[in-house]
Copies of this chain bind each other. A is one copy, B any other.
Amino acid sequence: MSGELPPQVTRTREGRPATFLEAIAEALWEEMERDSRVFLMGEDIGSYGGAFKVTRGFLDHFGQSRIIDTPISEGGFTGAAAGAAHMGLRPVVEMQFMDFISPAYDVLTNYIATSLYRGAGPLPIVVRGPVGGGNRGGPFHSQNVEMAFFHTPGLKIVYPSTAADAKGLLKSAIRDDNPVIFEEHKGLYRAPHCREKLPADDHVVPLGKARVAMEGEDLTIVTYGLMVHRSLEAAATLARDRVRVEVIDLRTLLPLDEDAIVASVQKTGKLLIVHEDTRTGGIAGEIAMRINERAFEWLDGPVLRVTAIDSPVPFSGALEDYFLPSVADVVTAGRYLVNY
């Protein structure tokens, strides 16, 4: 073990603001220091430090047995994570891009998600990695993967929007006894406006609890990840027309914090859901359904959504910008709903 700490894990110790990416690195580092059962697996995470350099310097400090460079075999090493978890370890698996989680779909949904129910015990595994568009990565380096897993009982899905949440939620995910899919938007990793001072103590944010990112009375926007920022921008625009928007940042998608959404809708009577993921079969549907079940009488207008369009993520920048939901889209839909 070397004495010097890699720079991306020292921001909080030095009292300096951290980027979203550094917050992730800090969470991993601190949890590995705290609990010797935690270890990392992934492609090129060792001496290369990972495609986004989240784990730069980890190999030197924690050694080969806890920083494991894997072959290109997302299914195989996720299955191996299950075995290690059975034996009491707490693997954190990195997908180089979360798009590559799809070869692990079988083992995640069939083996890992069903383990507790099958009487084989809980499996404390975190599968984390970069998601999302806007990077000109084309269809295979830009996906959001929540809806591949949202339908599977036994999994949790976390998708933070701020650096502080990224750290606090990742720590919770690692300490959770259940398998957690953890999505990190590439557009937040190094975004200057996401740089913030993190609480210096052991900063833990509970899973399953949404956050009110902005309070308001006229319209509820439920969103998560990068779209929290787009929605806050839209809310600022709407505020100039005296429209008071409440923005709810889900933070955890599964289990869904239904109570937080219901409470807000009972106040505003209007609900707009904003997600970056494509439209049909997106999470907006489940939220609309739950609001129908629990707060229909409070609705003063239809539940609406702003989403990406139903296609793969296009490669060209012009196409991708058109594909993704914009601030203007949120403003348009929000204004429409408020005036309904």
Spell out A's residues near B (CB within 8 Å): 75, 99, 102-103, 105-106, 109-110, 113-114, 117-118, 139-140, 147-148, 150-154, 254, 256, 277-278, 280-289, 292-293, 296, 299, 301-305, 310-312
A-B pairs, 5 with minimum CB distance = A285-B285, A151-B281, A296-B302, A102-B106, A105-B105
What chain B residues lie within 8 Å of A103 (beta carbons)?
A: 75, 106
Name 22 A/B residue pairs within 8 A (Cβ), A-sorted.
A102-B106, A102-B110, A103-B106, A105-B106, A110-B140, A114-B312, A118-B139, A118-B312, A147-B151, A148-B148, A148-B151, A151-B281, A153-B311, A153-B312, A154-B311, A154-B312, A256-B280, A284-B289, A288-B289, A289-B289, A292-B292, A292-B302
Q: Name the residue among A148, A151, A283 with the largest chain B CB count within 10 angstroms.
A: A151
- Give the distance to chain B from A139, nearest Cβ to Cβ, in Å: 6
What chain B residues lie within 8 Å of A312 (beta carbons)?
A: 113-114, 117-118, 153-154
Complex Cα distance, B277 from A236, in Å, reads 41
- Give the distance to chain B from A329, nearest Cβ to Cβ, in Å: 15
Complex Cα distance, B111 from A99, in Å, reads 12
Question: Within the oligomer, what is the number of copies of this chain?
Answer: 2
CB < 8 Å neighbour of A288 from B106, B150, B285, B301 = B285
Instruction: Give A105's nearest chain B residue, CB to CB.
Output: B105
Complex Cα distance, B140 from A148, in Å, reads 18
Decide: A293 and B286 in contact? CB cutoff 8 A: no
Complex Cα distance, B113 from A152, in Å, reads 21
What chain B residues lie within 8 Å of A311 (beta carbons)?
A: 117, 153-154
Complex Cα distance, B154 from A39, in Å, reads 38
Decide: A296 and B301 in contact? CB cutoff 8 A: yes
Complex Cα distance, B316 from A117, in Å, reads 13
Instruction: Give A281's nearest chain B residue, CB to CB.
Output: B151
- Give the distance to chain B from A217, nearest Cβ to Cβ, in Å: 21
What chain B residues lie within 8 Å of A304 (beta carbons)?
A: 292-293
Decide: B151 and A282 in contact? CB cutoff 8 A: yes
- Give the distance to chain B from A253, nearest Cβ to Cβ, in Å: 10
- Give the distance to chain B from A238, nearest Cβ to Cβ, in Å: 20
Extra inter-chain contacts (14) besides given A114-B139, A292-B304, CB under 8 Å: A102-B105, A105-B106, A109-B148, A117-B311, A151-B281, A151-B282, A254-B280, A281-B283, A285-B286, A285-B289, A288-B292, A292-B303, A293-B302, A293-B305
